[in-house]
A and B are shown apart, each in its own frame.
Chain A
Amino acid sequence: MSEKKTLEELENQIEQLKQLNSKNGLDLSDEIDKLSDKLTERQKSAKEKLDEWDIVKLARHPDRPDARAYIDALTEDFYPLHGDRLLGDDKALTGGLAKYDGRTVIVIAQSKGGNASESQETNFGMMKSEGYRKAQRLMALAEKFDFPILSLIDTPGAYPGKEAEENNIGGMIAQSISRMITIKVPTIAAVIGEGGSGGAVAIGVADRVVMLENSIYSVISPEGCAAILWNDRENADEAARALKLTAGHAEELGVVDEVIEEGPGAHKEFGTAAENLDKSLKKNLSELSDLNEKELIEARRKKYREMGSYRRATR
């Protein structure tokens, strides 16, 4: 039997026992605990066997909760704001005011959509020029009223379209990065699914960057990388492994501060992922709140100034 089947079987058994437990007045809790422990252990070792390509598939899993689910679960009174005041409203970017941990924050979130029709509407989280302008408008609002920024990243990349190029999407991404470097309020970015290249980093520059364990963050999509370096998109799995695009690697490279555990995986059980992300955001937000403007910006710029890896030339 495959490991996946074994795990499913165990899950079913536990579920059945739980139903029996409540129905017939039998005490099966010992049995349930035993099986649950076994399941956790098997899940853990299965997790350790996941390679980069498996994680890519999890990060893109159709049942993986989208950014709006996290906004609903974690914040209160979310009030979405619309439009960049010039080109239109980019629905790939959900953003607005919210109450979080007792204070007003600005949320900037790439939304892939929770189902097929939502995904059509949000263009699978692929932002256009107006989206990056909208993000900058929200950043300006945050700075003006001293609201911290929570940024949720989940995009295959910026939208490769004709109008996007006509509207200088590259320049808009550059300006968005620049804005996040100089902004005077605390910023936290969380990669919750796909962190797709420049389109992701444009809203991902932050004092703290965290990443859900089954999400990816990459300079290029594995398919795009395979097409260029292997001359074949079919080699995407190899490219994914070579790119080391998982949360653990991102942490080792010093790009991500913390990897958030998802338990069984956000696509299976949203609660654990949401709860752990919530804890991390609250902890980071409270730590950042102790710093003044100058300290915040200095630390942020020092962090990015030092990013990279090289050695003294050998020849």
Chain B
Amino acid sequence: MPLFRDEEYLKVDFDEKQEKDEALWVKCKSCGKLIFKKKLQENNHICPNCGAYFFLTAKERIKTLIDTESFVDETKRIESDDPLEFTDLKTYKERLEEAQKETEMFDSIIVGKGEVDEHPLVIAVMDFRFIGGSMGSVVGEQIASGIELAAEEELPFVLISSSGGARMQEGLLSLMQMVKTTSTREILTEKQLPFISVMTYPTTAGVEASIASLGDITLAEKGALIGFAGRKVIEETIGEELPANFQSSDFAYEQGIVDAVVDRDNLRSELAKVLEFF
């Protein structure tokens, strides 16, 4: 499943050194203006000048959505054991170590309990910095156990996707996580608990073609990339250029794939509004 690397038509910026960088200023990739970092943080990581969305880490996303001090980390203390002993130009082990160091995460997802405007829930948030937010055995297990936690405590489950798809380095086992998460999701149906899927930049390939597309309610963050196959692959196959808005959040909305497109600033209140019905 192709990871999406083509970011041209999206106004989402991913500043790799955001966390470690000591600099006080950061340059907006969309308008080129220097922005005071603190100001950017206060503004939900949206450029105050041009409105471009900066990439959110899982931790930052949780901060923007969950009521202060209500969050309890429930991420299982597990990591990949490199089942295929996969090597491309680099070993998978090296990639994992680097990603763990950079993100201070076990893998590309954080799961926890918390409240959104006083609505309790279980939330799972993916982090694109960690090998493209890809889903391997660990992510599959974290989503499955997050769903089970929600079921146990009779809470709604919210997934914030930011993933290029299944993780190639774990081969067939990654493909099977599509089935594992989908199968576990059934527990919520049986217990009549809502599953709200929030698609952000990017929600594609194996993640889009499984758990992320199985929400009772599906929201897309403005600027999200939503689709199964990669833009380049499609263009090569059909021999024509695709329109600029193809697979964008607005495209997904027009095609009836998502229920609403929500500005980042409004995502918290929108989630609260939806949860209020259940």
Contacts and interface: CB of A to CB of B under 8 A. Distances in A.
A79 interface: no
Given A219-B171, A307-B140, A310-B138, 19 more contacts: A169-B229, A170-B213, A174-B212, A174-B214, A177-B179, A178-B214, A181-B183, A217-B172, A220-B168, A224-B1, A228-B3, A243-B84, A250-B172, A304-B176, A307-B176, A308-B136, A308-B176, A309-B170, A313-B77
Interface string A295-315: 000001100110111111111
* Residue in A165, A202, A219, A313 whose Cβ sees the most chain B Cβ within 10 Å: A219
Interface centre among B5, B77, B84, B172 (most CB of A within 10 A): B172
A228 B77 contact: no
Interface string B171-204: 1111111111011111000000000000000001
A217 to B, nearest CB: 6
A224 B1 CA distance: 7
A244 B175 CA distance: 13
Given A166-B255, A170-B208, A178 B88 contact: no
A182 interface: yes
B180 A305 contact: yes
A197 B88 contact: no
Lowest 6 CB-CB distances: which A-B pairs, in order? A308-B137, A160-B229, A170-B228, A229-B88, A174-B213, A309-B83
Interface string B72-109: 00000111110110111100000000001000001000
Interface of A: 158-162, 164-171, 173-175, 177-178, 181-182, 197-198, 201-202, 205, 217-220, 224-225, 227-230, 238-239, 242-245, 249-250, 253, 255, 300-301, 304-305, 307-315
A165 B228 contact: yes
A39 to B, nearest CB: 33
A242 B86 contact: yes
Contacts of A173: 209-210, 213, 228
Given A174-B211, A181-B186, A304 B179 contact: yes
Contacts of A219: 1, 166-168, 170-172, 174-175, 206
Interface stretch (B29-37, B40-48, B121-129, B231-239): B231-239
A198 B182 contact: no
B144 interface: yes
B96 to A, nearest CB: 11
A22 to B, nearest CB: 48
A311 B176 contact: no
Interface size class of B (residues with CB under 8 A): 35 or more
A314 B101 CA distance: 13
Contact of B144 (A162, A227, A244, A305): A305
B112 interface: no
Nearest to A239: B88
Contacts of B267: none
B229 A158 contact: yes
B247 A253 contact: no
A229 B230 contact: no
Q: Most chain-B CB neighbours within 10 Å: which of A229, A249, A310?
A: A310
Contacts of B257: 168, 171
A229 B168 contact: yes
Contacts of A182: 186
B227 interface: yes
Contacts of A169: 209, 228-229
Nearest to A314: B79
A285 to B, nearest CB: 21
B206 to A, nearest CB: 6
5 contacts: A159-B237, A168-B255, A201-B176, A309-B173, A312-B77
B265 interface: no
A304 B187 CA distance: 14
B117 interface: no
B175 A178 contact: no
Contact of A310 (B81, B166, B255): B81
Given A158-B229, A310-B80, A224 B171 contact: no
Given A160-B229, A242-B88, A310-B137, A253 B208 contact: no
A229 B170 CA distance: 13
Contacts of B209: 158, 169-171, 173-174, 198, 202
A238 B178 CA distance: 25
B66 interface: no
A167 B25 CA distance: 43
Contacts of B228: 158, 160, 164-165, 169-170, 173, 198
B177 A307 contact: yes
Nearest to B210: A174
A312 B186 contact: no
Interface string B204-223: 11101111111000000000
A160 B1 CA distance: 11
Contacts of B166: 197-198, 219-220
B1 A164 contact: no
